[in-house]
Amino acid sequence: MTTFLGNPVTFTGKQPQVGDTAPDFSLTSTDLSKKTLADFAGKKKVLSIIPSIDTDVCSTQTRHFNQGLSDLDNTVVITISVDLPFAQGKWCAAEGKSSRGYFRVPLTPPYVPFGIRRFN
């Protein structure tokens, strides 16, 4: 059972399972180019989906994933938020990080706020 703050939460649609293949998507990178999941073919991918890089929790999560997974071979962290690419690039510059792997999600269907895609 999934809970949030101790209360049961119900999800709709099919929940992803370990080993499931994510569908391809197209997002805008910090350099304003379009990137797809297929651009990272052959690599292990960690999708970190956050509301905004400019919040303490999201910044901490992003920093944690970058530090914790930076030594793993053939692994890429893909951070997705609703921030403009310039805001993501500013965070990367302040953190001394490469801006590769930071993407803006469009706020149009089939996407919903905070970069979570709906699968029915």
DSSP letter for each residue of 40-85: GTTSEEEEEE-S-TTSHHHHHHHHHHHHHHTTSTTEEEEEEESS-H
pLDDT digits (tens, 9 = 90+) for 80-93: 888 888 888 888 88
Q: Which of 58, 77, 78, 105 does the annotation list as catalytic?
A: 58
What residues does each domain of the chain span?
Answer: 46-120
User: Can 58 be counted among the known catalytic residues?
Assistant: yes
Which DSSP letter does residue 15 get? P
Which DSSP letter does residue 107 get? S
Rounded CA-CA distance 98/92 in Å is 6
Which DSSP letter does residue 18 get? T
Q: How many CB atoms lie within 10 A of CB 29?
A: 18
pTM of the full structure: 0.69
Q: Report the pLDDT averaged over residues 94-105.
A: 66
Q: Is 13 left (phi over 0), alpha (psi -120 to 50) or beta?
A: left
Q: Give the residue with greater pLDDT, 3 vs 105.
A: 3
Res 119: pLDDT = 43
